[in-house]
Structure 1
Amino acid sequence: MDRLDGNKKNIIFPLILFIILMVFLSLNQILFYPSNFKLIKGENKTISASFPFSIEINNNEEIVKPIFNEQTSSLKQSYNLNAVSIGKTNVQLKLLGLIPVKNYDIDVVDRPRLVPGGDAIGVSLNTKGVLVVAITDVIDTDGKRTSPAKDAGIKIGDSIIKINDEKIISSEQVVNILNNETKKVNITISRNNAEFKTTAVPIKALQDNSYRLGIWVRDKTTGIGTLSYYNYDNQSFGALGHGITDVDTGKLLTVENGLIMQAKVAGIQQGKQGKPGEIKGVFYKTDDVLGNIKINNELGIYGNMKKSTKKQIEGKPIPIAFKEEVKEGKAHILTTLDDNKIKKYDIEIVKAESQNKENQKSMIIKITDPVLLNKTGGIVQGMSGSPIIQNNKIVGAVTHVFVNNPKKGYGLYIEWMLKQEDKL
């Protein structure tokens, strides 16, 4: 009897260990698989689960029609999900067919089509109010050193949006108001998306007899970048793949208004280890205006194209790839370096991150094209926004370079860029 019990133990313990191992391996796959994904109308996707998990279809077959795959093994359950019509549904994963473990939300959509960019663009951005980039002391006509701005609680990175209820649009306007209103002024400040009011008394400066608060401000910025895409459906655009920040404060600039314009590449400074390179370009505000900037956030600049711009677009719309469709491997970017022509350069997607939230570091990419490496040394400033194409689909845009290895950098999923258009 003891020998029989020992044989049972020899069988049961390995079986338990096997079941635990299967649960662990299956659960590991489940936890890292996105809990929501898109299906394209007319296309299909396979979803599967291994013992002891099973799939339960909580579904309206008018949206997604599931077909059981009979070729799967007894320990594995697999369904082909055929997207029939636009809408939302879900499937559920259960442990031993009883305990709910995870819901998969499915969104059936039409696949968006965009015109890939690659154009060199000039960016001119006017801030909301004026940005405080420095705070200094003022020496008054009696030789006394004070700082009205500091006493008023104003900090570097603040935006002054009103003085005495007058909307501020330029640094010159601030100077004029302070010299006409030499007594206490009421100031409305924007800081971290919140507004508050303070007061300050301008000081008559010894150096020029003008009235000052002890602040340096900036009201606009300009630069060169790359257009990521045009969207014919709503006459919109996306560019850069990262936000425009102030060079002194590092703060993301709030947009009052801005323009993107056709730019001409004037020269290239090669990127080297520890020293990012740069595309140098020129543009004129009065010529070749492509669109109006409405949004500047961590994921780029977005806005509306001019209606006449459509005639200038050379490319044709191509499909996008959703984030779960982006694969590690060969791809290419479109960018403008010389002859002011958009050209294709080979890259490799080294890593594609699994992301459920917007993040500008979606992919790690590596420049492999010998022509591009010879010209730029890799990714350089001004290439940000260059569209990334894989399998004839737009998958994202270049965002940042690795400072210590200019051949490598980050890319942003195009799906995250398109989500910003909802804010327009």
Structure 2
Amino acid sequence: MKNYRKLKPISAISLSIFFIFFVCTLAFGIIRSIPSEYNIPVGDEYSLQTRFPLSFSMDSDDIDNILEINQAKNITSTLLTKKSIFQLKTLKKGTADLQLKILGLIPYKTVKVNVVSKIQVIPGGESVGVKLNTDGVLVVGVSEITDDNGRSYNLASNSGIKIGDTLVAINDIKINNASHVSEIVKASKGKELNLTMKRDKREFKANISPVKAEQDGQYKLGLWVRDKTAGVGTLSFFHPISGKFGALGHAITDVDTGALLSVKDGEIIKSRVVSIEQGKRGKPGEIRGVFYETSNPVGKIEKNTQLGVYGELFADIAGINNKNTMPIAYQHEIQEGPAYILTTLDNNKIEKFDIEITKINFQTKPEGKSMVIKVTDKTLLEKTGGIVQGMSGSPIIQNGKVVGAVTHVLVNDPTKGYGIFIEWMISESGINDKN
């Protein structure tokens, strides 16, 4: 009997610890499905749903000036399956913090609610030609130089220059293009040159004395450089108020080095699809296009980033000015399930093709691969095998809103790929409350 009495308080403590552990484990599982930040347009309402043991509360003194929160209803079958719905109504632009609490007492997570302006864009889908001139020249190769005495020099290696670096200036003279580099090196007559290089946005200096090559008697640095590139992609959106556009949803990189190309200037050119190579397992397909009316670009490219290319359209393309605008969706509005993309194939007409959003990766900062998509449209599968190169930037539409854009294909399964949230592209484009 004595041993039994001693065990009772120990059992109570054990049960308490187990209950706390169980509640925290249950809470953690629920919290992972709740984003840390919401962007909700002013004037909209949105329902937040959670379940036992979590609930939302307002901690900020001025939250009522920005939004209202009301517990709409409880859906209860048992305590452990009890669901609570909280209704948010946005009143004016600003930011408010909601506290997610365990059992209504223990603060566990702060959820930020940004009340933002409503943004409407014209979804794209047009095939466009992209021409870029780099800021400086990109080093795409290095080589040894043999002088007339038979001695070999590897100037790049000795100076710490690598493939993928950008040559910005020589002797503080800003480089315009590859020909400009050749002119300066030739005029040096072998005198030491001070090179300004850039690597991953960091500048560094390199001093190199050009070598007179035995082969042709010309002074050289042993650097192979490139100053421009061109390709075909898809327009993601056009914002008629500001004239800004976004395309591709990913960076334009050098085909040989994979380095992001730093843009000096660039153009959007009208493009026509001429052929399609079907995507197969292990081998991405490709939409091939040609530029036309190259002397009359329809837009200028202002920046090339990891999230796409952006700039301004100053001429109509495929009648885009006559199309209707559509609101953008923020990530918390996107759902797993049916959606569609707009893209241009070999008939040079924008068409709608069904897809499914199979996974959503909630993100707190701009980055690609926001969601996983799968092509379900039989016509598109027959024509392309799924997602192919050149389709990048095709807008993704769900529930009457632009939710994102196609970015990459999964090489081992061309029916699947990634999409980027449209909110990241809008932010990158420079569209804001004043536009």
Q: TM-score, normalised by structure 2?
A: 0.90
- The number of residue pairs the alignment matches comes to 424
The answer to whether 1:352 aligns with 2:369 is no
1:34 aligned partner? 35
Mapped contact 1:139–1:206 kept (Cα < 8 A):
yes
Cα displacement (A) at 1:247: 1.0
CA separation of 1:13/1:184 partners in 2, compared to 1, >3 Å: closer, same or farther?
closer
Cα displacement (A) at 1:366: 1.0
Cα displacement (A) at 1:392: 1.4
Cα displacement (A) at 1:269: 1.0
Q: Which ranges of structure 2 fall in alignment gaps of 5 or more residues?
A: none
Mapped contact 2:129–2:232 kept (Cα < 8 A):
yes
SS in 1 for 2:23: helix
Summarize deviations over 1:90-114 as a string: whole Å, max 9, x none: 2212345444322111111232111
1:210 aligned partner? 218
1:106 aligned partner? 113
Alpha-carbon distance in structure 2 between the residues aligned to 1:8 and 1:185: 83
- Which amino acid is the alignment partner of residue 175 of structure 1? S
Mapped contact 2:272–2:292 kept (Cα < 8 A):
no
Greater Cα offset, 3-12 or 260-269: 3-12
The answer to whether 1:21 aligns with 2:29 is no
Alpha-carbon distance in structure 1 between the residues aligned to 2:248 and 2:297: 17
2:194 aligned partner? 186
Alpha-carbon distance in structure 2 between the residues aligned to 1:311 and 1:333: 18
Alpha-carbon distance in structure 1 between the residues aligned to 2:373 and 2:49: 30
Alpha-carbon distance in structure 2 between the residues aligned to 1:378 and 1:21: 44
- Which amino acid is the alignment partner of residue 93 of structure 1? L
Alpha-carbon distance in structure 1 between the residues aligned to 2:357 and 2:51: 30
The answer to whether 1:166 aligns with 2:173 is yes
Alpha-carbon distance in structure 1 between the residues aligned to 2:127 and 2:372: 23
Mapped contact 1:399–1:409 kept (Cα < 8 A):
yes
CA separation of 1:50/1:380 partners in 2, compared to 1, >3 Å: closer, same or farther?
closer
1:143 to 141, 150, 156: 150
Q: Which ranges of structure 1 fall in alignment gaps of 5 or more residues?
A: none
The answer to whether 1:61 aligns with 2:64 is yes
Mapped contact 2:270–2:291 kept (Cα < 8 A):
yes
2:389 aligned partner? 381
Alpha-carbon distance in structure 1 between the residues aligned to 2:390 and 2:117: 33
Cα displacement (A) at 1:152: 2.4
Mapped contact 1:124–1:223 kept (Cα < 8 A):
yes
Alpha-carbon distance in structure 1 between the residues aligned to 2:431 and 2:192: 38
2:344 aligned partner? 336
Greater Cα offset, 304-313 or 76-85: 304-313
1:118 aligned partner? 125
1:232 aligned partner? 240
Mapped contact 1:119–1:262 kept (Cα < 8 A):
no
Alpha-carbon distance in structure 2 between the residues aligned to 1:150 and 1:284: 42
Summarize deviations over 1:292-350 as a string: whole Å, max 9, x none: 11111111111112166696534211011111111111111111112211111111111
Greater Cα offset, 185-194 or 16-25: 16-25
2:184 aligned partner? 177
Summarize deviations over 1:193-237 as a string: whole Å, max 9, x none: 011222111111111111111110000011111111101232111
The answer to whether 1:398 aligns with 2:406 is yes
SS in 1 for 2:430: helix
Cα displacement (A) at 1:83: 1.2
Cα displacement (A) at 1:272: 1.1
SS in 1 for 2:29: helix
SS in 2 for 1:56: strand
Q: Aligned Cα RMSD in Å?
A: 2.5
Alpha-carbon distance in structure 2 between the residues aligned to 1:351 and 1:207: 58
1:46 aligned partner? 47
Mapped contact 1:123–1:223 kept (Cα < 8 A):
yes
- Which amino acid is the alignment partner of residue 40 of structure 1? P
Mapped contact 2:126–2:318 kept (Cα < 8 A):
no
1:264 to 264, 272, 277: 272
Mapped contact 1:56–1:94 kept (Cα < 8 A):
yes
- Which amino acid is the alignment partner of residue 68 of structure 2? K
Cα displacement (A) at 1:359: 2.1
SS in 2 for 1:180: helix
Summarize deviations over 1:42-88 as a string: whole Å, max 9, x none: 22223355555443213432221122335455866543111122222
Greater Cα offset, 285-294 or 99-108: 285-294
1:154 to 139, 147, 161: 161
The answer to whether 1:319 aligns with 2:320 is no
Alpha-carbon distance in structure 1 between the residues aligned to 2:318 and 2:390: 23
- Which amino acid is the alignment partner of residue 55 of structure 1? F
Identity %: 46
CA separation of 1:51/1:223 partners in 2, compared to 1, >3 Å: closer, same or farther?
closer
SS in 2 for 1:23: helix
